Amino acid sequence: MQVYKIIKLLDLTGKTIPCDMKDQLNGIYFSRSKQEPIAIGEMDIIHLIRAFNKMNDKKEAMDKLVFDYIQEQKGNNGSSRR
């Protein structure tokens, strides 16, 4: 089911939908499998979850690289002062 349909169903059931949700649904995600940009609202919820997890895994890996680099630099700076 497409994300925008899920939001519409939530609205129909009385769930308060944040006012920025329309802008969020119009946000663009580049689909590597389709090799084209697609609106987030047009994405199937399963695809959205997989894309989110994939992006999150990449972010976590990058965060770890940055953290390790900073720790390494702190170690190098500390040893050069002695």
What average pLDDT does range 5-22 have in this prediction? 96
| pTM exceeding the 0.75 threshold for the entire prediction | no
Domain range spanning residue 76?
3-80
Question: Phi and psi (nearest 5°) for 55?
Answer: -65, -40
The count of domains in the chain is 1
User: What whole-number distance in Å separates Cα of residue 52 and Cα of residue 49?
Assistant: 5
Mean pLDDT for the stretch of residues 28-49: 93
pLDDT band at 82; cut points 50, 70, 90 = very low
